[in-house]
Chain A
Amino acid sequence: MLTVSVKWQKKVFESIEIDTSQPPFVFKAQLYDLSGVPPERQKIMVKGGLLKDDADWSTLGLKNGQKLMMMGTADEIVKAPEKGPVFMEDLPEEQQAANLGYSAGLVNLGNTCYMNSTMQCLISVPELKSELSNYQSARTKDVDQTSHMLTVATRELFSELDKSVKAVAPMPFWMVLQKKYPQFAQLHNGNHMQQDAEECWTQMLYTLSQSLKLPSPSEDPDAVKALFGLNLLNRLHCQESSEESSETESVFSLKCHISHEVNHLHEGLKHGLKGELEKTSPSLGRTAVYVKESLIDSLPRYLTVQFVRFFWKRESNQKAKILRKVDYPLELDIYDLCSEDLRKKLEAPRQKLRDIEGQKLGLQASAKSSSKGDDVKMTDAEGSSNQSGESSTGDQQEGASPHMTGIYDLVSVLTHKGRSADSGHYVAWVKQESGKWVQYDDANTSLQRGEDIIKLSGGGDWHMAYIVMYKARLISM
């Protein structure tokens, strides 16, 4: 008979008697009573190893009063869950891309950053993407061969970008683009030349507007025009003869002219919509100076503004760049650039928008005035529920009858860094649906802060905005 003490976790079982004539299994059963650990789960440490169920006590050399240690729990044995978690590393690439929250970058194929950044800005327009996906691969006869190929290539590129995590090399698209627009294939010292992103942008939109004409003539025939196009109401006025004429013109972008007085996008736009031109006056019978004033007659879903930063410098024979800082807002209101008719149309939706915004502030104000202290919480709660209700209904109705408000939110910025249009570097900065800004610098993508986007306004050697795209804020009536 031996007496030992057994240490188990923080407990010590003092003076347990071991009947050395019985196998250790009996001892384990004793411990089971004390600790509740089933014998098969007990691990008892003796000198040189674990105590085996059939061991011989005499060979273990136990001493009276010796301390033994037991390990073991009655805990459930861990089992792997039926369905293990899915790891990102195991997912196919397109799902990884979906998880990333934004699309991949584009590999620079040799001075193609102008193209990459243009495409990154365009891909951020979901409506364009869906239009493209509806585009038939079979060519209809009213589209020429190269335009068709370019449209298909664009579609392919967009879908490829959506699927991959790693940067995509837009080789097929690049080949087609060169074919369609040979000016992009210009070589200089054996390398492709840097090109003006604005040119690429314009050409792309033009091509797409040609090819994406909807087959059914009843609707608006041109999807691209519906998305990007805006009508300008030009009024020509001749000072000398007081002749007046007006015409409408359809453009894809507004120009922001930069002069000494222009410090802000809005001023630049105004500046761009006013111009002088010489023209033969029918009444005077000679050329006279006409003042051209344009007003916006119809608003696009996506308003593109080009900063006219480059001008042809005759003396040096190159496109020089204006580095002047021109601020642009995250939220642009172009109401005062619109024509009278359009303003009238905008009146009601704008009022509604103001109401909604006013409600947010106004509710609080009214809460202040109405509540004399005791029902503040209630009105607050009401207000918040109101708000949430508002937004949800707004979402629902947006599809039903959206109305333009003349207010636009910045969605993408194409910047240029460098001193002339044909050199330097183009980068795209695109706002994601999640509200985050992503910088697409060719193959590299990185998240950016909203406040840094505003800082791309020029005035130094940092990236500066060249083309900005705004998305209309719609309101349902």
Chain B
Amino acid sequence: MAPVPDPNSVGGGAKRDEATTKIPSKDSKKKDDKKEEDLSEEDLQLKQNLELYVERVQDPNPELQKIALESMRKEIRDSTSSMTSVPKPLKFLRPHYGVLKEFHAKMAESDLKKMLADILSVLALTMSAEGERESLNYRLNGSESDIGSWGHEYVRNLAGEIAKEYTIRQGEESSIEDLMDLVQQIVSFHMKHNAETEAVDLLMDVEDLDLLLEHVDNTNFRRTCNYLTSAAKYLPGPDDMLVLDIAYMIYIKFAEYPNALQIALFLDNMQYVKQVFTSCTDLVKKKQFCYMIARHGMTFELDQEMVANDEDKEALQDIVNNSKLSEGYLTLARDIEVMEAKTPEDIYKAHLLDGRASSGPSVDSARQNLSATFVNAFVNAGFGQDKLMTVPSDSTSGSAGNWLFKNKEHGKTSAVASLGMIQLWDVETGLGHLDKYFHSNDNPVVAGALLGVGIVNCGIKNDCDPAFALLSGYIDNEDSSVRIGAIMGLGIAYAGSQNDQIKIRLSPILNDANAPLDVIAFAALSLGMIYVGSCNEEVAQSIIFALMDRSEAELGEALTRFLPLGLGLLYLGKQESVEATAEVSKTFNEKIRKYCDMTLLSCAYAGTGNVLKVQDLLAQCGEHLVKGDIHQGPAVIGLAMVAMSEELGLDMEIRSLERVLQYGEQNIRRAVPLALGLLCISNPKVTVMDTLSRLSHDTDSEVAMAAIISLGLIGAGTNNARIAGMLRNLSSYYYKDASLLFCVRIAQGFVHMGKGLLTLNPFHSERLLLSPTALAGIVTLLHACLDMKSIILGKYHYVLYFLVLAMQPRMMLTVDQSLKPISVPVRVGQAVDVVGQAGRPKTITGFQTHSTPVLLAAGERAELATEKYIPLSPILEGFVILKENPDYREE
């Protein structure tokens, strides 16, 4: 006979569509009747046997009943092993299902009744009407024998029915105890049979993930946790936190501390971080933890409990303080042989633009020189040498001065501050270079030195607190440019540190009636950075009061936008915690109210992928406004901030931004390129590149400027040849428009940032963790770009330096246990999503083998190509400590 295709065999998840599992009864019956004659002898025999059993079951003699039931059970069990078709016994029993059901109802309580219930439960798998959950009912009335003996399909079906039953019972508020027993059985069955994902799904359905802890073991906990962490991205709050909690506990249970730490960092749960340190006893591993914390950009104090030994503690604290970052970065640079300093001309590559490039004016242009200053700063960031600002010891002491004074007034601030960028992360040398500028009697120069100190200390902590010691004296300087330099420097140096001392110094400025607006704006911004994601009430209050004190005219100023932004940064990624403040913001002057609202919303849900918030923001963009309202800009950027967390949402967002671009008003169109820039930061996707390239020729120069800056952002630190080419052509296209040319130059600087060794991506550790300080830096720049003319093209161009918060080497540097760099072969390839896949699938594809240190591009992953060493962290990014594999044998 022709095999009847069994829809059950295709079912993959626990919650299959019930409808498909039922064979349409009428048709099949007819067919059965017809085909009865065609049955083979064997089948006929089976059919007759079964019919006999059915009859016997109804026999009053319990002995006979028992024998019949046992035989029936045997027949069914023997056959359910096959998955490709409806097992024949089930098929032949189909006509008798009703009979058996009736009989079961009539039976008195007995073992036999339970036995029959078991069989009915299996039969219900294919025969019960939709939504009846008969299989489950009979199972609950059955003998509670081993659930796995009836095969996988049965278990899956049961799991699906349990989930439905559970929701119904939750509605009725009736007991679920009997269900939970069953769940226990199913989960343990699944966990033993490589079906972790189904076990997790079932437990999420019945809201009892804790059960998982009992059932995971050494072989399956990794896959389980992997599934949990990636599922968390798609769960609504607070379920996601719960899921990650479980994953954390499982990791701790199996002493998989690096992963546990990752999740602890994701949850931003200091208790958990501490627990990781106290649970782990291996000092080298702790060093690895410190590297991970340092990469996350978190300020973290080790204490006696975490490390007992003082000397060890100091060594670990050094790592957390990032004091070796500069060294590692330079090791990478030397290995790749890019130490040679580059000039802006090396980046512009004007010689490739035959004929069309202007001959280069004989007179210096202040704006051109300013852009060269920035390009020089970004390109040589962290290398400690350049060809404009740093002085090769003695002979040319004039040259640095020369370049400095080729910048005009506030341009000098950026020029001196660029020294901080060039010496990035190398505090001692950097301070040495900046020192002489402190003694200048030119205020912009002093301001630049202050800002430079902040930049050089970005992400680096030091016991002596040099940045605070140096900058605090200038906070109340009479010159406002010097004040801004000091305040911004503090904001950059202490971002995320929640440093009380600075709060005490900066808060009064906010509510000082005599302070100029720009000083207040930068103070609010710096406080926002320092207390990023802390939900600090006091700071929030100060900023709120400052906002309320602004006059109507001041609210119209471009810089005022930094006040709501500073407020928003306090709640970065903190979701509901923002609500109280958002409520207060409704009382603001209407000029700033909506702007504040959008900024708070977008900051609070940044990196959460919350679909509802995306919809809210999209709705805002859909409105066509009377001109003058500026809140749609932050709404568009907010879209990107919320959606940037995971790949699917990100792609969806890129598509919906395309719509927004087509139908939106001008103020929205200006923000869309910036949003695209944020979504693909340091990740030059070709589609986005093309969109931005198109927009860079837009007739509205503000759209074009934003698109150009964003081209720089998506290519930041990649040296991407295609973007570099586009920008080069743009530089000749816009060679006459000083403003646009400035933007092109800046973008060129971004693309070649750190000569291609850096990334701006705030996500790290395989895109799981979001560094709040990095995001704060980028978002600040984007908000500044919303009013390009008054901020970046005006005299506040140094806000570009906020990007330093997001700059990190995109390297993988292996070190041995004494933290000396060692070179080992690694495979680097495109990362593959292996969540929920069976077996041990390859995690990378299209790989190449290099020896460390190596660069990792967006979406790439590394794995060791040698068995000689074992990495102490499963995430091969940044600093990875290797220990020798004791089982390794040289071949």
Contact = CB atoms under 8 A, between A and B. Distances in A.
Interface of A: 7-10, 41, 43, 45-50, 67-69, 71-73, 75-81, 84-91, 95, 99-101, 434, 436-437, 445-450
10 contacts: A45-B470, A48-B465, A73-B436, A75-B397, A76-B397, A78-B400, A89-B367, A446-B356, A446-B736, A449-B354
Q: Which 3 A-B pairs have the closest CB atoms?
A: A69-B464, A45-B464, A87-B366
B9 interface: no
A85 B368 CA distance: 13
A88 B365 contact: yes
Interface in B455-500: 462-466, 468-470, 472-473
Contacts of B557: none
Contact of A50 (B356, B364, B470, B732): B470
B446 to A, nearest CB: 11
B440 interface: yes
A436 B405 contact: no
A67 B736 CA distance: 54
Contacts of A86: 363-364
Given A78-B401, A449-B354, A85 B406 contact: yes
Given A10-B429, A69-B464, A100-B361, 11 more contacts: A41-B435, A43-B469, A45-B466, A47-B465, A69-B428, A75-B436, A78-B436, A88-B364, A89-B365, A449-B354, A449-B355
Given A73-B435, A78-B440, A445-B736, A87 B408 contact: yes
Contacts of A81: 401-402, 405
B358 interface: yes
A79 B402 CA distance: 10
B318 to A, nearest CB: 12
Interface string B569-606: 00000000000000000000000000000000000000
Contacts of B404: 78
B442 interface: yes
A91 B397 CA distance: 29
B361 A67 contact: no
B359 A436 contact: yes
A415 B732 CA distance: 23
Interface string B185-201: 00000000000000000
B356 A448 contact: yes
Contacts of B472: 49
B440 A77 contact: yes
Nearest to A8: B428
Contacts of B432: 9, 71, 73
Interface string B718-738: 000000000000001001100
A9 B429 contact: yes
B439 interface: yes
Given A47-B465, A71-B470, A89 B358 contact: no
A80 B362 contact: no
Nearest to A12: B428
A50 B435 contact: no
Contacts of B473: 49-50
Contacts of A43: 435, 438, 469-470
Contacts of A9: 428-429, 431-432
B357 interface: yes
B354 A89 contact: no
B501 interface: yes
Contact of A88 (B363, B431, B463): B363
Nearest to B364: A85
Nearest to B411: A87
A449 B437 CA distance: 46
A267 B431 CA distance: 74
A101 B464 contact: no
B696 to A, nearest CB: 17
B753 interface: no
B445 interface: yes
Contacts of A69: 428, 462, 464, 466
A434 B470 contact: no
Contacts of A8: 428
Contacts of A91: 363
A41 B432 CA distance: 11
A21 to B, nearest CB: 24
Nearest to B397: A76
Nearest to B365: A88
Nearest to A66: B463
A88 B741 CA distance: 15
B403 to A, nearest CB: 10
B464 A68 contact: yes
Contacts of B440: 77-79
Nearest to A11: B428
A76 B469 contact: no
B405 A80 contact: yes
A101 B358 contact: yes
Given A45-B465, A48-B501, A49-B469, A78 B437 contact: yes
B464 A67 contact: yes
A167 B462 CA distance: 57
B358 A447 contact: yes
Given A45-B469, A78-B404, A99 B435 contact: no
B359 A434 contact: yes
A81 B406 CA distance: 10
A100 to B, nearest CB: 7
A67 B321 CA distance: 16
B559 to A, nearest CB: 23
Contacts of B400: 78
A88 B465 contact: no
Nearest to B470: A43
A247 B148 CA distance: 118
Given A7-B428, A78-B401, A46 B365 contact: no
Chain B CB within 10 Å — which of A7, A87, A434 has the most?
A87
B397 A87 contact: no
Nearest to A68: B464
Nearest to A79: B401
Contacts of B429: 9-10
Nearest to B369: A87
A260 to B, nearest CB: 35
A332 B436 CA distance: 63
A8 B428 CA distance: 7
A329 B416 CA distance: 53
A48 B355 CA distance: 58
A46 B363 contact: no
Contact of A46 (B402, B431, B464, B501): B464
A88 B435 contact: no
A88 B464 contact: no
Contacts of B445: 78
Contacts of B442: 80
Nearest to B733: A446
Contacts of A434: 359
Interface-central residue, B354, B358, B501, by most chain A CB under 10 Å:
B358
A89 B368 CA distance: 10
B405 A87 contact: no
A408 B224 CA distance: 83
B763 to A, nearest CB: 34
Contacts of B466: 45, 69, 71
A449 B400 CA distance: 37
Contacts of A448: 355-356
A440 to B, nearest CB: 13
A52 to B, nearest CB: 10
Interface string B774-791: 000000000000000000
Interface in B417-434: 428-429, 431-432
Nearest to B426: A10
A67 B466 CA distance: 12
Contacts of B402: 81
A80 B403 CA distance: 11
Contacts of B470: 43, 45, 50, 71
Nearest to A434: B359
Interface in B724-770: 732, 735-736
A47 to B, nearest CB: 7
